[in-house]
Amino acid sequence: MWRKNRNKVNALCKGADANRNFGFHWGGEGASTNPCDETFRGDAAFSEAESKALRDFAGDNDGRIKIYLAMHSYGPYFLYPWGYQWDLPD
């Protein structure tokens, strides 16, 4: 049930939560600045290789991508872009 990547952050803690490493509302509600927390956001937006790769792929294929879905093994979740707040989109 590990939800972060395995990058070494410091001597005690590993990984950043890739879901919270994207630039859109980076560091907002639900993201932690503590590297030992499961919801650690990373040192900066797109600081992790996984989020950088998805950003670059989407940018390189602008206009061709119709939908982006992420499968999560940590829990039975279906996430959509408004996951940064509790209010549902219009």
Give me the DSSP letters along 29-87.
TT-BS-TTSTTB--SSTT-SHHHHHHHHHHHHTTTT--------SSSS----TTTTSSS
List the Cα angle 3/78/84 in 5-degree steps. 75
Cut 0.95: pTM above it: no
| 6-44 confidence digits (pLDDT tens) | 999 999 999 999 889 999 889 988 899 999 999 999 999
The count of domains in the chain is 1
Range of the domain at 12: 1-90
Tell which residue, 50, 1, 64, has the closest CA to residue 22. 50
Q: What is the pLDDT of residues 44-72, one digit of tens each?
A: 999 999 999 999 999 999 999 988 777 66
